[in-house]
Amino acid sequence: MTLMRWASHVIYSLVEPWRQLIVAGVLLLPMVSAADQSFGTPVPERFGEFQWLSPWIESGGTYEEGRDGRFRIFSASFGGRWVGDLSRYRAGEFLEAQVSFGTRSLVASPLRYSRLEETELSPTLIDGFAGVSGTWGRLRFGLLPLMFGLESGVESERTWIRPLIVRRGLIGLRDVGLHYSVSSGGFFSDWFVHNGEGGEDLDRELWMTARWEYRLRTSRMQWRWGASGQVGRTAPASTLPPGTTADPGIELVASEPSRLRFASLYMASDWVVGQGERGEEADRRFGFELEAFGGEVLQDSRSRRIRSLRLDFHWDPSDFWGLFLRGEAYDPDSHVAGDMLHEASFGLQRYFLRGSMKRSLRGILVATKEMVENRDQDHHRVEFRLRFSPELFD
């Protein structure tokens, strides 16, 4: 374990000081070597090929009852990817490297590690990893997307808004570490060893995350069943570092060390209800997501159990419109009565394109009613989001 901690620290120390140069190099190299290539076209290389990653932009506005509304950028990213074929050395293997730059909201470091100098829109390196793949699986190292529950770190795969466990800062989306994945038939498993902090490792504590999933898919239907787990520790060096003037007080006492463990069970499915198959002109879908989450925080002065349950339905009644319905319950501490949070959301989605590019440009309007036990007044929120990513969906 000492070797793993040293390795994770070295990886981040190498990436962090040079992240601006790395991004600049990735963005400028294709312009110099293949200025006549069209966007998204692989650039031939001697040992592989380079390809731009599709840009992602999510912007819009929010209005909360009793407060002023505001326009904002929720997230944005852009980068590049290189893939090299190793078949000349060993059949079925290839190297890969990916670097992308974007807003801090796409890393989504858990709020227990809040850094006062960073905001959701702070520009940062969001992907910076290399790896090798073969018949035995895939191994990656660097700044990686974490896979927990139905979250995979790919923004364009999100149908609507993220669940409370992410918005409340319990689960991060990216971190520095190692990732091993393997699949066989319809079974998939992912294993991570990472810092837990979504950035620089201040407390030298390692986390482990795993996800196991079975997928069943045809041209008109898909099912996903899975389970996730995550365990780790924190220390005041990371939860209340020098210079921090306030305890973020999310799910633990920041001035004490802690042990944390989280688990998730989920099921998701969607069906093509229009004519044709997935990705075709008349691709209209009906589906649902069901996820149960539980967590435990152990400290000297207190212990805390967290529970959450979410059920989503989405349906495309026409080629250009989609409907969304969500019910979500979140209990930040099962030892405390009367603090259960309930959210009910209704959403309307407008698709501006058709066919395989249908979900590349869309507008989303979501109205949410927030209800807390033992409170007489409910809270209402309205969000509008415009999403753009020229990515093919299947």
How many Å apart are CA 125 and CA 106, to the nearest integer? 10
**pLDDT reported for residue 338:** 79
**pLDDT reported for residue 44:** 53
| Percentage of residues of the chain with pLDDT beyond 90 | 45
**pLDDT reported for residue 117:** 63
- Write the pLDDT tens digit of every residue in 55-78: 999 999 999 887 778 898 999 999
Residue 97 and residue 48 in contact, taking contact as beta carbons nearer than 8 Å:
no
**pLDDT reported for residue 350:** 93
Q: Is the pLDDT of residue 296 over 60?
A: yes
Q: Is the pLDDT of residue 392 over 90?
A: no
**pLDDT reported for residue 391:** 65
Q: Is the pLDDT of residue 32 over 50?
A: no
- Write the pLDDT tens digit of every residue in 113-168: 866 666 777 889 999 999 999 888 999 999 999 999 998 877 777 778 889 999 88
Q: Is the pLDDT of residue 283 over 80?
A: no
| Percentage of residues of the chain with pLDDT beyond 70 | 81
Look at 19 and 324; give whichever has higher pLDDT.
Answer: 324
Q: Is the pLDDT of residue 176 over 50?
A: yes
**pLDDT reported for residue 225:** 96
208 to each of 102, 311, 356, 364, 389, how far by Cα in Å?
25, 27, 36, 35, 31
SS (H, E, C) the chain: CHHHHHHHHHHHHHHHHHHHHHHHHHHHHHHHHCCCCCCCCCEECCCCEEEEEEEEEEEEEEEECCCCCEEEEEEEEEEEEEEEECCCCCCCCEEEEEEEEEEHHHCCCCHHHCCCCCCCCCEEEEEEEEEEEECCEEEEEEEEECCECCECCCHHHCCCCCCHHHHCCCCCCEEEEEEEEEEECCEEEEEEEECCCCCCCCCCCCEEEEEEEEEEECCCEEEEEEEEEEEEEECHHHHCCCCCCCCCCCCCCCCCCEEEEEEEEEEEEEEECCCCCCCCCCCCEEEEEEEEEEEEEECCCCEEEEEEEEEEEEECCCCCEEEEEEEEEEECCCCCCCCCEEEEEEEEEEECCCHHHHHHEEEEEEEEEEEECCCCCCEEEEEEEEEECCCCCC
- Of 37-51, 77-91, 177-191, 261-275, the one with minimum mean pLDDT is 37-51
127 to each of 4, 144, 191, 236, 379, how far by Cα in Å?
20, 6, 18, 27, 36
Q: Which residues contact 383 (CB under 8 A, 6 or more apart)?
A: 60, 61, 62, 161, 364, 365, 366, 368
- Write the pLDDT tens digit of every residue in 79-103: 999 998 766 656 668 899 999 999 9
User: What separation, in Å, do the N-terminal and C-terminal C-alpha atoms of the chain show?
Assistant: 41
3 to each of 113, 141, 197, 233, 363, how far by Cα in Å?
24, 15, 18, 17, 47
How many Å apart are CA 50 and CA 201, to the nearest integer? 31
Tokens of 131: 């790896």
Q: Is the pLDDT of residue 11 over 50?
A: no
**pLDDT reported for residue 161:** 86
Identify any residues that bridge with 289 across adjacent strands, giving them in sequence order. 268, 312
**pLDDT reported for residue 36:** 38
Residue 27's pLDDT band, with cuts at 50, 70 and 90, is very low
**pLDDT reported for residue 30:** 44
Domains and CATH numbers, the chain: 2-388 (2.40.160.10)
Residue 321's pLDDT band, with cuts at 50, 70 and 90, is very high
| 191-197 LR contacts (CB < 8 Å, sep 24+) | 192/144, 192/146, 192/147, 193/4, 193/8, 194/8, 194/144, 194/146, 195/8, 195/12, 196/110, 196/113, 196/172, 196/232, 196/234, 197/109, 197/110, 197/113, 197/238
Look at 266 and 199; give whichever has higher pLDDT.
Answer: 266
- Write the pLDDT tens digit of every residue in 237-265: 888 887 766 666 678 888 889 999 999 99
Stated pTM of the model:
0.82
